[in-house]
Amino acid sequence: LSLDFETTGLDVVEDRVIEFGAVLYSTGQHKCLDNQGMLVKSDKPISPKITEITGIHPAAVDRFGYEPDNVLDIIIEMMYNADAMIGFNCRRFDRRVVENWATRVGKGTQVSGRHWIDLFQDLPWQVPMAKLSYVAADHGILNLFPHSALADCQTVLAIAGKYDYDELMVRSQSPVVILRARQDRASNELVKQAPFKFRWNPGMKIWWKPVKEQDVTEIIQSSPFPITVEKGLTIEELD
142 half-sphere exposure, CB direction, 13 A CA radius = 1
Name the E strands within the chain: 2-7, 17-26, 31-39, 85-87, 116-118, 176-181, 199-201, 206-212, 227-229
Q: What is the pLDDT of residues 113-151, one digit of tens each?
A: 999 999 999 999 888 878 999 999 999 999 999 989 999
pLDDT for the residue 195: 64
Q: What is the pTM of this model?
A: 0.91
User: How much is the average pLDDT of 61-66?
Assistant: 98
Q: For the residues of 93-152, what is the DSSP string, one character each? A: THHHHHHHHHHHTT-GGGTTT--EEEHHHHS-TTSPP--HHHHHHHTT---SSTT-HHHH
pLDDT for the residue 99: 98
Q: What is the pLDDT of residues 157-200, one digit of tens each?
A: 999 999 999 999 999 999 999 999 888 776 777 777 666 678 88
pLDDT for the residue 183: 81
Closest CA to 208 of 230, 186, 224: 230
